[in-house]
Amino acid sequence: MNRQDFLVILTAIVGLIIIAAQFFTVEFIKTTGAELQSWGVIIAALALGLAAVNLSRIHIRRITLRRANWQYSVALVGILFIQAIIGFIDTSGGEVYNFGFENILTPSGAMMFALLAFWIASAAYRAFTARSVDSAILLISATVVMLGNAPIGQAIYEGMPDIKDWIMDVPNMAAQRGIMIGAGIGAIALGIRILMGIERGHLGGGDE
Amino acid sequence: MMSKIRNIDRRIIYAILLVSLAFPIFAPPGLPFAVGNPARNAYAAIDALEPGSLVVLSFDYAPTSADEINPQAMAVMRHLFEQKRGVRVVTLGFWPSGPIFAEINFRALEAEGVTDGLVYGEDYANFGYIAGAENAMAALATDPTDAFRRDREGNRTADLPIMQGVATGSDIDLLVHFGSGTPGVPEYIRQLVDPYGVPMVAGLAAVSVAGSIPYYQAGQVIGYFNGLRGAAEYEQLYGVAGPGTSAMDSFSFGHLTIIAFVLIGNITYFLDPDRKKRK
């Protein structure tokens, strides 16, 4: 048995236990399923640490080789380490740690998202034109949904929120459900392929 | 002429939008708005909680969506701490920054005196963040005190009075999830709502609403808040104007300006004599 076969069998056993734990009330299966979930949480936490190490490695390399825009990497690595050290000493509930979170991360994150409004306004002005029937339908629907969502839409026409609700609850939902059911069936098919060892991409070795 | 208007400097567009967003802050027209059924249902579910009920507030968003979602969370926390005394409130998160927002909100309410008399560990607790996304949600559903073994203060969650009698996810009386992405509504429905029958209310970023409506229509989400508008609706229902309500006029004028730009863009496009040549 080679390494890949071993990992396929391990994946299948773990996957089947988790599935069985959802459907059966056998104590051993339930306990094992719960334990495996805890392992998953621990592995995910380790993966976060690994991600931080990997990020540092990539950006320290960028700095040492003076790659393009290496100054941004200095900022990233510097803040990563400073905030991590503060977190270790002060804990993530501490005042100093939260000062950085509340006064640097939150405003800059909010700013990035808020800038979208300006870019959307500019992009909509230039590109959101009714060049075809499809784009005209999209344009009208988007306008009605925007107006229906804002109080001004109701001030312009009392029934605007109702029209918006219809667009969201009927055509939008029909499309969303179609996408969800398709994605759900796809996920089941992928799960079966992984359990049967047909899909081996997650093992990092391709189909060989 | 038309192409000149179409190719207007984008900085002019930015400036007009900025003025339209800022103007209502200084001279708010106070446009009225109706409260939709999703927010009404969400409010009713929270308002119906009896003393002794366990409500989990899950903070699953990042600073990018905080301005939109945090007013919702603030309004719900105010309602719970002010009027639903005796309801046990646990905050947690599957996004790293989530529980920090819970703490910031709590501190803000504490400064107003809203939380006076509440005891940590008995009336409320902050369990913090655990990694693992949907898998971690599944662990929460299987055994909450095993998934979150320690709270943000370092206490063993199993020893907290607030968690006495809580063995599985089915002991949670209401889940209020504030989120803007993955893991979010679908993951909670798969792991906690459907298997354990936990009622769920969702506080969503406006961009996530379209994708979550099927869950609301199916009854898996009993009510939801639609972005900043959702926060304003909750504040109106509760009767305390907050950041959601005060942002509504800017929200209206911002939307109207973007729609005006779209209209002008279309008019100039169709009146542009060079349009056919470009085709």
Average pLDDT of chain B is 94
Give every CB contact of residue B192 below 8 A, 6+ residues apart in sequence: B137, B140, B141, B169, B172, B175, B198, B200
Residue with tokens 């900025």: B18
Give every CB contact of residue B27 below 8 A, 6+ residues apart in sequence: none
Size of chain B in residues: 279
Nearest CA in chain A to B261: A125
Going by pLDDT thresholds of 50, 70 and 90, the confidence category of residue B37 is very high
Instruction: Output the CA torsion A129→A133→A137→A142 (10° steps).
Output: -20
Instruction: Determine contact, residues A154/B32, Cβ cutoff 8 Å.
Output: yes
Q: Which 156-185 residues of chain B touch chain A by CB within 8 A?
A: none
- State the Cα–Cα distance between residues B8 and A121, nearest whole angstrom: 12
Helix, strand, coil abundance in chain A, percent, nearest 5: 85, 0, 15
**Does A91 or B70 have the greater pLDDT score?**
B70
Q: Which 208-227 residues of chain B touch chain A by CB within 8 A?
A: 209-211, 213-214, 217, 226
Q: Is B10 on the interface with A (CB under 8 A)?
A: yes
Strand ranges of the sheet holding B124-129, from the earlier edge strand across to the other edge: B124-129, B88-93, B54-60, B174-179, B200-204, B223-226
Largest CA distance in chain A: 72
Going by pLDDT thresholds of 50, 70 and 90, the confidence category of residue B279 is low
Residue A140 is assigned to a structural domain of this protein: yes
The stretch B228-244 carries a mean pLDDT of: 94
Point out which residues pair with B88 in neighbouring strands. Answer: B54
Question: Shortest Cα distance from A83 to chain B (angstroms)?
Answer: 13
Interchain CB distance below 8 Å, A37 and B139? yes
Residue A109 is assigned to a structural domain of this protein: no
Q: Please list the pLDDT of chain A residue by residue as tens digits (208 residues).
A: 788 889 999 999 999 999 998 888 899 998 999 899 889 999 999 999 999 999 999 999 999 999 999 999 999 999 999 999 998 898 877 888 888 888 988 999 999 989 999 999 999 998 899 999 999 999 999 999 999 999 999 999 999 999 999 999 999 999 999 999 999 999 999 999 999 999 888 787 655 4
* pLDDT at site A208: 44
Residue A179 is assigned to a structural domain of this protein: yes
Q: Which 92-151 residues of chain A touch chain B by CB within 8 A?
A: 92-93, 98, 101-102, 105-110, 112-114, 117-118, 120-122, 124-131, 139, 143, 146-147, 149-151
pTM strictly above 0.80: yes
Question: Which domain does A41 fall in, by range?
Answer: 1-47
- Give the domains, in start order, of chain B with CATH numbers: 37-248 (3.40.50)
> pLDDT digit string (tens) for A97-130?
888 888 988 999 999 989 999 999 999 998 899 9
Domain total for chain A? 2
Instruction: Determine contact, residues B93/B129, Cβ cutoff 8 Å.
Output: yes
